[in-house]
Structure 1
C-alpha cells in the first residue's frame, strides 16, 4: 500500500482505483477509507478514485497530538503530491466535507470541482445536532449507542433489509485518544469566513431527514459559496451516499461531467 508523508513526517496510507481524472473521496470523522466501500465503484469507470486513511485511522500513523480540519486538508494535498496529481475533483462527506471546504478555500488551484455532502460550515454559524442526539450517542450501553448511530445514518426501512457490515460507524481499531482527537477537530471546525474564497464549481448534497448533521446547514453553505448549487435527497439520513446511492451517484457524476474542463 502506498504512503504519502505529511509535512511533519506522519505517514498517510492512501488507496486508488479506477482510471481517468482524479476524484478524491473523503470519509467522515473517525472513519477510514472503508467508508466508501461499495460506493467508489460507481465512479471508477470514469475517474481514478483516491481515498486516504485520515491520520489516527486505518494504516496511517496515529500521533497523539492535536488534529484539525485544516491539517487534514494539508494531508490530502500531501497525498495528491505523492500521486503527482495537480488538480482533482473533491467529494467530501460529513467531516470529510468540512475538510473539503478548506481544500476549496485554501488550495483552490488544486480543486477543479467540489462536492460537499451532509456537512456544515461549523462554528457559531453551523447548526448543531440536538442535545438528545448527542446524548443517545454516548449511551453507557455500547449496543444502544450503536443502534442510535445506525438510525441516524440509515432509514428504518433500509436497516430492516440490510444486515451490514456497516462501514460508516467508525474505524473499530482506532485508539481511544485518536477518536477524541478526531471529535475535537470536527467540533472546532469553522470555515465560515473562508467559504467565499471557494472558486471551484460546488455542489452541496444533503438528505432531508439528516438529524446527525442537520439539513439546515446546506443552505448556509450555499449562501456563502459563490455559485454553489444544492440538491436535497428526500427521505435520506446521514449516509445518503450509501442508502440512496442510485440517486446520489448519478447526481455527482452528472455534476462532474458538466464541470469537467
Structure 2
C-alpha cells in the first residue's frame, strides 16, 4: 500500500486505471474508499488517484491544528512525489474545499475542477453543525456519532430503505481504520477556518459544480454561490440525492462527471 512522506506525515494514496490523471479528494469523516461506487465507471476512462487526507484512513496525522490550505499542500506535494504534473480534480464536501485551495495555490497542476456538495463560506447554521461535530467526536462513541451525522447526509428516501442506515452504521463501527477523535476535531476546525469567497474569481480552469437538490447540509444555494463566483462555471443539480450523493446516486454522479470531462 503506497505512502509518501509529505509535510511530516505519511500520506496514503491509491492509483487505478489508465489515461489522463483524475484525482479524487474525499470529505469530512471519509477516506479514499468513499469513492468506491464510482470507481468502475471512472477507471474505464481515466487513471484515478485517491488519497486519505491527513489523519484519515491509512494516512498519519499530527496533534497540531490542521488547515484546508495545509491539506491542499499535502495533495500538491503528493502529485510531485508520484511524478504527475497535472490532473483533473474532483472534491466532495471538505474535499471540495481542499480542491479549491489546491487550484488557487497551484493552478498549473489542475486541468479541470469538479466540486461536489461543497461551498465557499458556510452560513451560521452550517458552522454550528460542523463545530458540534468536532466537539462531539471526543464525547460519544462512533455508533452514536454516526447516528448524529447521518441524517444530515442521507435523504428521506434512503432512510426508508429497510436496513440501509443500520447496515452503514454497522459497517462504520466495524471498519478497521476509523478516524481518531483528534482528527475529526482538527478537520472541523479546518473547515470553520476557511473562506474562499473573495478568491473564487481567480479560478480560471473549466469548472463543474454539482449538488443534490435534497442536500440539507450544503444546500443548493452554496453551490450557486460557487458557480456565480467562479468564472464560467457550470452547475448541475441532481434531483434525487442529498449530501451523500456518492453513496445514494453513484451512477448519476459518475455520468455527470464523465459528460463534463469527455
Per the normalisation by structure 1, the TM-score is 0.87
Q: Post-superposition, which runs of at least 4 consecutive aligned residues in structure 1 deviate over 6 A?
A: 166-171
Could you say what the CA RMSD is over the residues aligned between the two structures, in angstroms? 2.6
Match of residue 221 from structure 1: 226
- Cα contact 2:206–2:233 (8 A) shared by 1: yes
Give the paired residue count.
253
Match of residue 259 from structure 2: 254
SS at match of 2:71: helix
Unaligned runs of 5+ in 2: none
- Cα contact 1:57–1:171 (8 A) shared by 2: no
Q: Separation in 1 of the partners of 2:104 and 2:90? A: 14
SS at match of 1:39: helix
For 1:106-255, list aligned pairs within 5 A. 106-122=105-121, 126-129=122-125, 138=136, 143=143, 145-159=145-159, 160-161=161-162, 162=164, 164-165=167-168, 173-255=178-260
What CA deviation, in whole Å up to 9, does each residue of 1:100-153 have, x standing for no partner?
11112111110001000001102xxx3354589669965977555523422322
Specify which structure has the higher proportion of helix. Answer: 2
Match of residue 89 from structure 2: 90
What CA deviation, in whole Å up to 9, does each residue of 1:177-229 have, x standing for no partner?
12111111111111112211111100000011111122210111111101101
Q: Separation in 1 of the partners of 2:190 and 2:242? A: 23
Q: Separation in 1 of the partners of 2:187 and 2:128? A: 21
Aligned pair in 2 of structure 1 residues 157, 67: CA closer, same or farther (>3 Å)? same
Per the normalisation by structure 2, the TM-score is 0.87
Match of residue 46 from structure 2: 47
- Cα contact 1:20–1:47 (8 A) shared by 2: yes
Unaligned runs of 5+ in 1: none
